[in-house]
Each structure stands twice: as C-alpha cells, then as structure tokens.
Chain A
C-alpha cells in the first residue's frame, strides 16, 4: 500500500463536478483507493464513491491523504494526485 498527501487547490473544493471527476478517474484502477481529510482528522473513505467524497468536506486549503492498495497502486496514486493538483481545470 502506498499513501500520499496533497492540498486541495481548486477554489470550490471537492464539490459536485470535481468529486465526480475524481470518482471517474479512481474507477479506472483496480486498486482499492481511499481518501481522508487530514486537516479535520477524518477517517479514510472509499475514493470511488462520490457520496463519500462529498462527505469529506474537503474544501480549498484542506490537506487530504490518498492511499492505494493493489497492482496498479503506483499509477493510481500518481494520476489522482496529479488530477487534484491540477485543480480540476478550475484554476
């Protein structure tokens, strides 16, 4: 299993559209993927579930931690972190 942290940079945070984009991206990988809101000491939740991601309250400036476990874990983490860091096209 590998984990990485990053900061949410897009202005609107992980709300509807970015959350849907993240789920869509996460579903491309076999690995089990979780995400947690580090700033608010949240529990890790399934990163392939939009309702879980919305429940994170991961707004701009919050730090999140992504963990992946599975065959394609390296690629998965790499891509999802890149997506979050890209600001989902909002910036």
Chain B
C-alpha cells in the first residue's frame, strides 16, 4: 500500500474536529470489510440448529451493544439514542420473521439469510425521499455487519492490536470498533463520515482521543504508514507535513499539552487544599484491568460489577466472580475497594434473563429490587465478594436503596450468606463495612435515620438528580430540566453530609459531580472529604482543590444556600 513516490506532497484535509488535541503519528488505514456472503443452502433436517445460530448471534450482538452502553455510561445520552435504534433494528419482528422463514422454508444458511433480508430493507430505507431517513440505512448496515461478523465467529478486532502512536484512518467505524479504541494504542482517529453528535464522537471525547470526522475519501487519499498530524480542535488532517507546517503544529501541540501537563502534575499528588486540609480522592472502576489509576488515588469509591454479567452469555458463577473480585482487591493493595452489588434492570438488560417490560424502567424492578427477586443470583454475588474479602480491603455497597426496609432486607441476606460460609468453614473478613448508595430521594431525606443502620454511604449524584428533578438524564430533549447544580440538589447534599458527619460515619460522593471542578469547592464546603470519580478526572480535581482553603470553601457553600436558581449558582461559581 505504500506510496512509491519519493517526493510526497503535503496534503491538508478539512473535516469536523470533535475531540480536542494535536497528535503526530502514522496512518493505519482501516476499511470496514465488505464481506461478500455467498448464497449457501443446507440439507433439510438442520433447520432448528440454524435458526438457533441466528438467535445466538442476536443475543451476542445485544451483549456487545450493551457493552457500548456501559462504556457510554459516563459520557452522554446522545450516543445511547443511536444505540437504542440499533437495538430496535436487532430485535425487529419483521426481520426476525423473514430471516427465520428464509432459513426454515428456503433452507438458506443463516449468514446468507441475514444478508438477504437486511439487504432488502437497506435498499428500501436507503431510497427514502427524505435524506435524514435514508441515512438510517447506515444503521441497518451496522447491525447486519455486526451479525455477520459474529456468525463468522470473529469477536476481536484488528483494532486491538495496533502499534503505538497509530492514527486510525477509517471509512466508517462501527460503535463496536470504537469501543475497542480505549484498550488499543490509537492516538487519534480520522473518519470519512460522522459529525459531532455521532456515537463515535462521543466515545472519542470520553477516551480523550483527538478525532476528526467527516473527511471524505480519507482512506483513499491517505496511505498506510504515512506521516500525519491530526488537529482535533480545528478539524484539520495534514498528510506528509512539510517542515514549516510540522513546526507550526509542534507549537500548537505544546500549547495544548502544557494545559494537560499542568493538570497531570497533580496526578500523583494527594488531594490537599491550599491550607493543607486533606480530601481523599477515589476512583470509579468498572472492570479488573491492571491499572485503572490505583497509584493516583486513595480508594476505590465505586467498583461497578455489571461487566461481569454483561460480558458473558449466562450468569457468572461464584468462582468466576470470586477470581475477579480477588484480582481487583489484590491490585488495589491497601486501598479500600467499595464493591457495588449488581445494578441491572431498568434500561440495562441481560440477554439470558427475561425481565418484564416496564413502563418506567428507572422506577421499576432495578438493582436491589431485582436482586431480592433473584435471590440465588444475589447470594452468589455476596458469597463471591465475602470470600474475596480476605485478599484486600473490601467494602460492600447496595444500590437503589429507597427505605430502611431495603437496608435491613439486604443486610439479612448478607447475614444468611455469612452463616452459610461459617457452616462450610469458608474464610472471609467478618468486619467488611456495609454501606449504601444514596440516590433515591426517599432515603436521602432520612439520612439521619439510615446512618445508624450502615457503616458508610456514597452519594450517586446522577441518579439522585434524575429522581429529584423527575428528569431522564439520557433524554437530550429535556436536558435543561436535569439540574445537577440546582438549589434542591445542594440542599439535599447538605443534609446528607451533615447527618453522616455528625454521626462520625464515612460519607463520599461517586457521581459525575465529583469530577466537575466547578462543584469541588461547594462539595468540600458542605463537609465532603471523600470524592470518587473516573480516573481521567482526578488530576484536574486535585488541581482545583489546591486553589482554595477550607474557610473559603465553607463561605462559598454557605453563599450557595441562599441562591434561588441553578443559573444563579453556576454564574456565582464561575465568577469566583
């Protein structure tokens, strides 16, 4: 693929910059392969097996999509809307019926059946007189290609094995491809299609990978291995830069990197206010990878366990969970790890478990409520966690607690599990602290009562805000109603923190607010000393902490309490 011209001309391409940063690197050109599916038939008698193969592929595809969902958890609702469309296509009843008929009646192999049926709809939708609707043919192709890839038995992508400093140049990256980026070595992304609201853009920002979308013919104009500069701010891609251009972008890169470096200087420091007051910094993790940032934190404030359930085809066994929990505890060493029990249900489903369709999933059988129903599943997780507790400093936390009844119920299950372990002579740490997430208003308002029932609590500001404001945080259309800086939020936080501090019990915060430097001063002023966030945010929050004293923070928190609207509060905080 290498260009044989000795003299390579510089070429400047303009696209849409959707994720900031300047990167120098080498191109890796990636075209979504156009698999030609041959029309293949089978001998009668194998219908059930082949229909099953198609069913299985759909289940696997759903698990993949859910994984992307979980990656997007901290990013935004926009990407999820697109994935909702993909899921709707995946489980479309017309497609289902036609594929099944094609397999059963025409004896067509499942992959060719999928290809045939999808192609019918791709051409119908693609020919729509409305360009916006015609664009949706891309979503159909995406789902088709995912299914075909799964049916070929391929799960890992070439994208996870790239050399360092690769700039990925693609024609049309799939969400499943994009979800691989974080684990790979991709320094920047250039894509022929897409815009700032595309799922790809949202993921790229989440991973902090400089990205330029909507660069037509990029995979034709750029050759493998060529030198590139990507400017994710202005949407520029320079191919084979000459010396002067290289220098100019070198300056730009230094400027951008300096800003980042300033933050990074704080990476390995402790969280300290200007007057020396300590604020403990925690990280939120969602898998058992080797280093999510343990060295730059004091504790793991939230260990999400959903990945164990979403990455597999059936419920994870006790032993599988035990090994993962043990590994995380050992990696974290002497730092406490707060394991949150399964938070599934609502919008997050498990393909191998049929849950009733609900009108209001977020107000439905979610998390702890589901666990109480699926007692075996709940007990298995608690057993695995307790058995792992001897390998580190484990804490167990229950999500979606809405009343003291819930707390007592969960604790009684834990007690029963402990008794079983005692009877079997299985070792565990009997002093594992037990806590709750405070994310439902009905428990937030009785913080002073619940405090006597638990060892600690952590405030989940995302769900708390969504329930407090009666606003779906993933619905972009009503974003203005999701007011995480509203007076109601800060008053609620204030009463929770005051109750826990008065009782001498640990209180922390693990929602998105903990990662927002604009909120840091208020949180500290309200009395919080434990902030847990995604590890990408710890440096900037530590830098913010170093700017003020406790007295200043308390004054700001006091001043907030008399402000009447979110707008007033944000304006005031920005003016400081």
Task: Determine if B221 is an interface residue (Cβ-Cβ < 8 Å).
Answer: no
Which of B124-132, B212-220, B524-532 lies at the interface? B124-132
> Are B139 and A49 neighbours in the complex by a CB distance under 8 Å?
no
> Are A13 and B133 neighbours in the complex by a CB distance under 8 Å?
yes
Report chain B residues within 8 Å CB of A51: 89, 92, 94-95, 121, 124-125, 140
4 closest residue pairs by CB, A with B: A89-B477, A59-B130, A49-B94, A20-B88
From known contacts A13-B132, A54-B136, infer whether A90 and B477 are also in contact, taking CB-CB under 8 Å: yes
Interface residues of B in 350-383 (CB under 8 A from A): 357, 359
Interface residues of B in 430-475 (CB under 8 A from A): 475
CA A15 to CA B137, docked complex, whole Å = 10
CA A13 to CA B359, docked complex, whole Å = 24
Point out the residue from B82, B92, B121, B475 that lies within 8 Å of A16, measured CB to CB. Answer: B82
Q: How far is the CB of A11 from chain B (nearest CB, A)?
A: 9
Q: How far is the CB of A77 from chain B (nearest CB, A)?
A: 18
**Residue of A13, A14, A20, A51 ringed by the most chain B CB atoms within 10 A:** A51
Task: Determine if A4 is an interface residue (Cβ-Cβ < 8 Å).
Answer: no
With A17-B85, A28-B359, A51-B89 given, name 14 new contacts (CB 8 A). Answer: A13-B130, A15-B130, A17-B81, A17-B82, A50-B88, A50-B89, A51-B125, A54-B128, A54-B133, A54-B136, A55-B124, A57-B129, A59-B132, A90-B477
CA A28 to CA B84, docked complex, whole Å = 16
Report chain A residues within 8 Å CB of B95: 49, 51
Report chain B residues within 8 Å CB of A46: 93-94
Task: Determine if A36 is an interface residue (Cβ-Cβ < 8 Å).
Answer: no
From known contacts A51-B95, A57-B133, A59-B130, infer whether A19 and B85 are also in contact, taking CB-CB under 8 Å: yes
> Looking across the interface, which residue of chain B has its beta carbon closest to that of A54?
B125
Point out the residue from B84, B92, B121, B357 that lies within 8 Å of A17, measured CB to CB. Answer: B84
> Are A55 and B130 neighbours in the complex by a CB distance under 8 Å?
no
> Are B133 and A14 neighbours in the complex by a CB distance under 8 Å?
yes
> Are A23 and B133 neighbours in the complex by a CB distance under 8 Å?
no
> Looking across the interface, which residue of chain A has its beta carbon closest to that of B133?
A15
Interface residues of A in 21-71 (CB under 8 A from B): 23-24, 27-28, 46, 48-52, 54-55, 57, 59
CA A54 to CA B143, docked complex, whole Å = 15
Report chain A residues within 8 Å CB of B477: 89-90
> Are B93 and A59 neighbours in the complex by a CB distance under 8 Å?
no
CA A83 to CA B132, docked complex, whole Å = 20
Task: Determine if B478 is an interface residue (Cβ-Cβ < 8 Å).
Answer: yes
CA A90 to CA B88, docked complex, whole Å = 20
Report chain B residues within 8 Å CB of A15: 130, 132-133, 135-136
Report chain B residues within 8 Å CB of A20: 81, 84-85, 88
> Looking across the interface, which residue of chain B has its beta carbon closest to that of A55?
B124
How extensive is the interface on chain A, given as a class? 20 to 34
Report chain B residues within 8 Å CB of A28: 357, 359
Chain B residues near A (Cβ < 8 Å): 81-82, 84-85, 88-89, 92-95, 121, 124-125, 128-130, 132-133, 135-136, 139-140, 357, 359, 475, 477-478
Q: How far is the CB of B471 from chain A (nearest CB, A)?
A: 12
> Looking across the interface, which residue of chain B has its beta carbon closest to that of A22?
B88
CA A47 to CA B82, docked complex, whole Å = 20
Task: Determine if A6 is an interface residue (Cβ-Cβ < 8 Å).
Answer: no
From known contacts A49-B93, A51-B94, A89-B475, infer whether A57 and B130 are also in contact, taking CB-CB under 8 Å: yes
From known contacts A28-B357, A59-B130, A59-B133, infer whether A89 and B478 are also in contact, taking CB-CB under 8 Å: yes
**Residue of B85, B93, B124, B133 ringed by the most chain A CB atoms within 10 A:** B133
Report chain B residues within 8 Å CB of A14: 133
Task: Show 11 A/B contacts (Cβ-Cβ < 8 Å), sorted by A.
Answer: A16-B85, A19-B85, A20-B81, A20-B84, A23-B92, A28-B359, A49-B92, A51-B92, A54-B125, A55-B124, A59-B132
Report chain A residues within 8 Å CB of B357: 27-28
Q: How far is the CB of B558 from chain A (nearest CB, A)?
A: 38
Report chain A residues within 8 Å CB of B81: 16-17, 20
CA A50 to CA B136, docked complex, whole Å = 11
CA A13 to CA B129, docked complex, whole Å = 12
> Looking across the interface, which residue of chain A has its beta carbon closest to that of B125?
A54
> Are A57 and B128 neighbours in the complex by a CB distance under 8 Å?
yes
Q: How far is the CB of A6 from chain B (nearest CB, A)?
A: 18
CA A14 to CA B130, docked complex, whole Å = 10
Report chain B residues within 8 Å CB of A48: 93
> Looking across the interface, which residue of chain B has its beta carbon closest to that of A59?
B130
Report chain B residues within 8 Å CB of A50: 85, 88-89, 92
> Are B125 and A55 neighbours in the complex by a CB distance under 8 Å?
yes
> Are B130 and A16 neighbours in the complex by a CB distance under 8 Å?
no
Q: How far is the CB of A52 from chain B (nearest CB, A)?
A: 6
CA A52 to CA B128, docked complex, whole Å = 12
Q: How far is the CB of A29 from chain B (nearest CB, A)?
A: 11
From known contacts A16-B82, A16-B136, A89-B478, infer whether A52 and B129 are also in contact, taking CB-CB under 8 Å: no
CA A50 to CA B357, docked complex, whole Å = 18
CA A12 to CA B81, docked complex, whole Å = 14
CA A59 to CA B128, docked complex, whole Å = 10
**Residue of B130, B135, B139 ringed by the most chain A CB atoms within 10 A:** B130
Report chain B residues within 8 Å CB of A13: 130, 132-133
> Looking across the interface, which residue of chain A has its beta carbon closest to that of B82?
A16
CA A48 to CA B91, docked complex, whole Å = 10
Q: How far is the CB of A76 from chain B (nearest CB, A)?
A: 14
CA A51 to CA B125, docked complex, whole Å = 8
